[in-house]
Amino acid sequence: MRNLTFAMNVSLDGYIAAPGDNLGWSVPSDELFQWWSDRVGATALSLYGRKLWETMSSHWPTADQQPGATPAQIEFARRWRDMPKMVFSSTTSTVDWNTRLVTGDAVTEITRLKADDGGSMDIGGATLAAAAMRAGLIDEYAIVAHPVLVGGGTPFFTALDHWVNLSLLETRKFPGGVVLTRYGTRR
């Protein structure tokens, strides 16, 4: 069975995007950017909702060709393009960069993917992750908390019908007061 992790940058008050989908508060340090890059390099399959896919695919496919691209940005762009991806959307019609489009029921497809053999999977995007969370499909939460309160926006966690008990797997500090906490779902 494959492991599914929901990993995102999060404001201290629990949002993955501030009002207006503003992400300006989550600019990573070099060390945190390398952690994200290594994570992408180790992920066998990344599952995206439409909005996060649009954000990522509007920048990373050509980021390594931009003037002033750093070695870390070049490496991340390459890793991102090479990583197998799935986009779950009923409104998107085409995807590129080693990506497959899924227009059917996300929970059914994610359940099928988890039952397959293969490496770890990451899930991103508030709506898609919320559906997986409510269905009990997420095995691990990697919360990269930034020391900022944005006051609203897109929450990391969704409303649940029942408690989900977690076990602490890791904590790590990054420059700028950013803290990673990884939790595993206790079943």
Report pLDDT digits (tens) over 55-65. 888 888 888 88
Residue 24 φ then ψ, to 5°: -60, -20
Residue 147 has pLDDT above 90, yes or no: yes
Q: Give the separation between CA 98 and CA 102, rounded to whole angstroms.
A: 13
pLDDT, residue 139, reads 98
Say what the pLDDT of residue 72 is. Answer: 87
Report d(CA 160, CA 155) in Å as an integer.
13
Residue type, 121: M
Checking if the pLDDT of 98 tops 90, the result is no
Where residue 107 falls among pLDDT bands split at 50, 70, 90? very high
CA atoms within 13 A on the CB side of 34: 7
Q: CB of 5 within 8 A of CB of 123?
A: yes
CB 143 within 8 A of CB 181: yes
Quote the tokens at residue 169. Answer: 């797997």
Instruction: Using DSSP, state whether 168 is helix, strand or coil.
Output: strand
The chain-wide mean pLDDT, for the chain, equals: 94
Q: Which pLDDT does position 62 carry in this prediction? A: 86
Q: What is the pLDDT of residue 3?
A: 96
Q: Is 139 helix (H, G, I), strand (E, B) or coil?
A: coil
